[in-house]
Amino acid sequence: MNNFLAGKYINQGSYKSFQPEQINKPWTIEDMELLTLLSKADRQLGRLDMYSEYIPNIDLFISMHVLKEATQSSKIEGTKTNIEEALMDKEDISYEKRDDWEEVQNYINALNSAIKNLEQLPFSSRLIRQTHAILLQGVRGEHKQPGNFRTSQNWIGGASISDATFIPPVHSTVNDYMSDLEKFAHNADIYCPELLKIALIHYQFETIHPFLDGNGRVGRLMITLYLVEKGILKKPILYLSDFFERNRILYYDNLMRVRLQNDIVQWIKFFLVGVIETAKNSIKTFDGILKLQKEIDAKLQTLGARSGKAQLVMEHLYQHPMIDAAKTKVLTKLSYPSVYKLLEELEKLEILKEVTGGKRGKQYLFMDYIRLFK
């Protein structure tokens, strides 16, 4: 990796595009600090993966991990929807915030669809394009070829191509680059640890920038898909967007450092630090969930005969920590007077918090649970 050459700038007349080197080739690692970080990252991922083994009903909690990832990954692109807003229905969102809200919902749908599609499709250009199509459906990028690689030049930063921060390769080479990336992902003849592979794949994807819009979100989403497909994680419970968002300047600087200085080692170190920190935080979140579950179960026992119905409500709240009377009625099959009584008792137990302040259409949040993901 010390002899890595990122690529070269090609004169296109009024601008220069960057043509990266292909990555489907043998890699040799000589940096001991990088190897140490790789060992730590593998260890933390192993610890995190254990939670998918022994936490009962872990699928209940994955939807909140996805929702957090959707808000954080979209935030990097300038979207301002928070977790509480992402839980609301569209009609409850103010008109000026609906575009942002819809982009977050698309991200959730795209990620859930991609995870499901992994059962039939390998990590591939086809999977990536399908995911991209959902991401841009009906939102601000809907006219920018959803589900298709670009057929024109794009750029990053700057008001126009003439003052761009970075200009990706010409569109006629995108298919070849993506084919090379896909081959590298599945090339069993080249030994390269999977975490280093996905670090390289993410860098290369962001450098190719194969779509006219949505490259950042798709590139970050690909990390989780790759780890699940390769069996590094049994469940999709690691998302790096929060780390990238909190270190946004370093994230972009390290990507550009590769292109300008051929320093792929620094990018991979940054990526591995992100994996280590994110895995530790995810473990902390799961520990918090287990502790909260015990506290909630103890509180529900005080409800006597109504504890069974309250448990049905809680199972819903672990997946979607916002509820109203109508949803509670569907879950519990109670009459409305009994529903209101149950919600009132859950509020008294400080499990739920009413957040709308209205007499009608009240919405309740499972606040202690939401805080674990902030």
Task: Tell whether residue 216 is among the known ligand binding residues.
Answer: yes
Q: Which residues contact 360 (CB under 8 A, 6 or more apart)?
A: none
Among 336, 252, 308, CA closest to 76: 252
DSSP 322: E
Task: Tell whether residue 69 is among the known ligand binding residues.
Answer: no
Q: Is 136 helix (H, G, I), strand (E, B) or coil?
A: coil
Whether the Cβ atoms of residue 10 and residue 248 lie closer than 8 Å to each other:
no
Task: Tell whether residue 252 is among the known ligand binding residues.
Answer: yes
Partnered with residue 18 across adjacent β-strands are 9
CA dihedral (153, 156, 159, 164) positive or negative: negative
Whether the Cβ atoms of residue 218 and residue 135 lie closer than 8 Å to each other:
yes
Residue 172 to residue 149: CA distance in whole angstroms: 10
DSSP 142: T
Q: Is 323 helix (H, G, I), strand (E, B) or coil?
A: strand
Task: Tell whether residue 316 is among the known ligand binding residues.
Answer: no
Q: Is 288 helix (H, G, I), strand (E, B) or coil?
A: helix
Task: Tell whether residue 263 is among the known ligand binding residues.
Answer: no
Whether the Cβ atoms of residue 348 and residue 312 lie closer than 8 Å to each other:
no
Please indicate whether residue 209 is annotated as part of the active site. yes
Among 91, 85, 101, 115, CA closest to 370: 85
Q: How far is CA 135 from the centre of its chain?
A: 12
Task: Tell whether residue 219 is among the known ligand binding residues.
Answer: yes
The 3-class SS string of 41-94 reads HHHHHHHHHHHHHHCCCCHHHHHHHHHHHHHHHHHHCCCCCCHHHHHCCHHHCC
Residue 309 phi, psi (nearest 5): -65, -40
Supply the angle between the helices 264-300 and 59-76 in degrees, to the nearest 10. 140
Q: Which helix (H) or strand (E) holds 357?
A: none
Task: Tell whether residue 213 is among the known ligand binding residues.
Answer: yes
Catalytic residue among 132, 209, 316, 320: 209
Task: Tell whether residue 220 is among the known ligand binding residues.
Answer: yes
Distances (CA, A) of 357 to 18, 349, 363: 54, 18, 9
Binding-site positions read: 77, 209, 213-220, 251-252
What are the residue numbers of the active site? Answer: 209
Which amino acids are annotated as binding site for ATP, given as ranges? 77, 209, 213-220, 251-252
